[in-house]
Amino acid sequence: MTPASRRLADRVVEVAIESLIRLCGISAIIFVFGILYFVFREGAGFLFAGLDVREFFTSPEWYPTSQSRVRYGVLALIAGTGAVTALAMLLAVPFGIGAAVFVSEFCSPRWKEGLKITIELLAAIPSVVWGFIGLTVMNPLIMVVFGVPIGLNVLNGGLILALMSVPIIVSIGEDALKAVPDSYREAALALGVTRWQLVYRVLLPAARNGLLAAVLLGVGRAVGETMAVLMATGHAVTMPTSVMDSVRTLTATIAAELGEAPVGSDHYQVLFIIGILLFTITFVVNLAADLIVRGRRRA
Amino acid sequence: MASSNRPDSRLLWRTPAAVAAVVGACLGVACGGSSAPASKEPARTVIQNTGSDTMVNVAQAWAEEYATVNPGVSVEVSGGGSGTGIAALDHGTVDIANASRHIEPKEIETARRNTGKTPVEHIAGYDALAVYVHASNPMTAITLEQLGQVYGEGGTVVRWSQLGVTMPGGADEIIRISRQSNSGTYAYFREAVLGKGRDFKLGSLDMHGSKDVVELVSKTPGAVGYSGMGYAAPGVKPLAIAAKAGEPAYGPTVENTQNRTYPIARPLLMYTLGPDEGAVKAYLDWVMSPAGQAIVKASGYVPLTGAQSVR
């Protein structure tokens, strides 16, 4: 092989590998738009012709297979998703941020490694296992502790979702706290503050954006979760008035009904429209998280 | 580097030839292996059978038993729901569709358009839909009217005390357990109990399978749920049902279903395309025979009686 031809061969390999890596890089974008296109295509026909959009958003009556009058109102499903997510965040945010502060600031290095591995293990538990815990452990527990007739409700789903979102909040929150320059800590300690004052007055304000992003990603996780809430919330179309009410979420409705809805029917298309709605919600939440993180970087 | 590369590159050169030899040998073996027995044995016939989740257990039991009766025919069973099975039949992708509801005129039309053949209905047994309550519930019988008040849209009954029942634990609220809205069982219960055109009251816990309903009832003292009689389990008890107030109530038993005194029973249906012939006809004949009907009974359903199988 002459040096010239070897150089040519090297160049060809170089270009091939480079374009392969580029393809890997942009494939995420292709997939996101591909999925978006597919979901829209399946739902668009009925979204623009036939669906009563007012009823869709304002009626709690979900009767997709009624023989007398089909009604596609998702208000109760939105309320179900909202209630479960809100409760989950109410529980997960204090625990998640607290754990992040502990791991980042108070923990000895040996403990820190063990804790981080355990928290990551919590994130690795499949959602169907969480659902199973909700169904077989939490359901009887809630019935006994609160004396309610059934334990498959907002509280059950919220607890499960809180346990699922805590690992995300902890690991991203800890990163945010770690990103606060050590000079801040040193300056504060030099002024004679206690460790509590350091956390409360210096670190939390400095890491505010990162922590908010952690919380929003937790929200995104909670809104999009399907299997666990399907099993733990009772799957009942109701406008919840207390945490002891059974509810149904948007995701669980798609999971339970898409399999048997005839392809192309109104019911099938409405389920895809719910998919578009979910996509929009999680997109807005993730975008907000992203913008906030950017804000932090610029600051 | 260069000196250590030499043996490697020589190996590389040799490899394609070796690979070609191995592949060639494999191909030769594979061809010999597959062609020789095929010419000796008669081709194995496969019957595709899909549909109703209610029937999937009994259909599986039929298929397994039939494999010993007629080893030349293999019946492949899958579930997915009555609607899924009929849709597959409409597209000609299955030989037999199981259904726990009757085929709709629209679906017959689709089948004619796609395949040029008309679906034929066969009754393979009956399923009595039982209304289950928790074993500790003192109630023993209920009327269809009361069930409609509990489950139906606009129904006013939400507490056990409204039905004259005092619950032992004091939990008075009725926890209604139902099915997902496109299940055949849901549709049958709606038509037979709530009445034509009437919808379910919202707020029931909608489970995704017959077994899930019974399981949840067994764990929830205040619950009521409906499922096939074959799903009875420890911890639940089926209620006797009266067609009208003042009339006697009948429990979901084989006898009460066959003599039509139990009011909510439905046929287990099998649909095929066009006039049946060959392996499919032989299989259906066997399903209707005493041997096939014994499996219906063993699976917890109600076998045909002599008179009904003619219809």
B173, B198, B206 ranked by CB distance to A149: nearest: B173
Residue B19 predicted with pLDDT over 80? no
What gap in Å lies between CA A172 and CA A123, rounded to an integer? 13
Contact B208 A237 (CB under 8 A): no
Q: What is the pLDDT of residues B265-286, one digit of tens each?
A: 988 999 999 887 889 999 999 9
Radius of gyration of chain A (CA): 24
| Superfamily of the domain at A75-298 | MetI-like (1.10.3720.10)
pLDDT of residue A176: 92
Helix (H) or strand (E) holding B125: strand B119-134
The model's pTM is: 0.79
Residue A7 predicted with pLDDT over 50? yes
Residue A156 predicted with pLDDT over 70? yes
In the three-class reduction of DSSP (H, G, I as helix; E, B as strand; rest coil), residue B196 is classed as coil
When mean pLDDT is compared across A53-57, A147-151, A268-272, B273-277, the lowest value belongs to: B273-277
Residue B85 predicted with pLDDT over 60? yes
pLDDT of residue A155: 96
Shortest CA gap B221–chain A (Å): 7
pLDDT of residue A297: 59
Instruction: Return the sign of the alpha-carbon dihedral for residues B149, B153, B154, B158.
Output: positive
A143, A234, A261 ranked by CB distance to B182: nearest: A261
* Percent of all residues in chain B with a pLDDT value above 90, rounded to a whole number: 52
When mean pLDDT is compared across A96-105, B143-152, B183-192, B232-241, the lowest value belongs to: B183-192
When mean pLDDT is compared across A266-270, B9-13, B83-87, B191-195, the lowest value belongs to: B9-13
DSSP A149-172: S---SHHHHHHHHHHHHHHHHHHH
- Burial call A108-141: b when 16+ CB within 10 Å, e when fewer: eeeeeeebbeebeeeeeeebeebbebbbeebbee
- Burial call B145-180: b when 16+ CB within 10 Å, e when fewer: bbbbbbbbeebebeebeebebebeeebeebbbbbbb
| CA-to-CA dists, residue A48 to A59, A269, B134, angstroms | 19, 11, 47
Shortest CA gap B201–chain A (Å): 10
Q: What is the mean pLDDT of residues A65-72?
A: 89
ipTM exceeding 0.85, yes/no:
no
Q: What is the pLDDT of residues A202-257, one digit of tens each?
A: 999 999 888 998 999 899 889 989 999 999 999 999 999 999 999 999 999 999 88
Residue B144 predicted with pLDDT over 80? yes
Summary mean pLDDT of chain A: 91
Mutate to test the interface with A, among B104, B205, B213, B214 (most CBs of A within 10 A): B205
Phi then psi dihedrals of residue A247, to 5 deg: -135, 175
Residue B192 predicted with pLDDT over 80? yes
pLDDT of residue A1: 62
- A121, A125, A130, A133: CA torsion to nearest 10: -70
Contact A235 B206 (CB under 8 A): yes
Pairing assessment for the beta strands B45-51 and B223-228 based on DSSP bridges? unpaired
Cβ neighbours of A143 in B, within 8 Å: 220
Q: What is the pLDDT of residues A109-126, one digit of tens each?
A: 889 999 989 988 988 899
What gap in Å lies between CA B105 and CA A293, rounded to an integer? 58
pLDDT of residue B52: 86
For residue B233, how many other CB atoms are within 10 A of its CB? 13
B182, B203, B222 ranked by CB distance to A65: nearest: B182
Residue B2 predicted with pLDDT over 70? no
B300 versus B31: which is more confidently predicted?
A: B300
For residue A276, which amino acid is it? I
Cβ neighbours of A256 in B, within 8 Å: 180, 206, 208
Residue B307 predicted with pLDDT over 50? no
Are residues B135 and B238 in contact, defined by beta-carbon separation less than 8 angstroms? Answer: no
Report residue A260's pLDDT band, with 50, 70 and 90 as the boundaries.
confident
- Burial call B234-251: b when 16+ CB within 10 Å, e when fewer: eebbbbbbbeeeeeebbb
Are residues A249 and A229 in contact, defined by beta-carbon separation less than 8 angstroms? Answer: yes
Residue B146 predicted with pLDDT over 70? yes
Q: In the 8-state DSSP scheme, what is residue B205?
A: E
pLDDT of residue B310: 36
For residue B158, which amino acid is it? V
Residue B4 predicted with pLDDT over 60? no
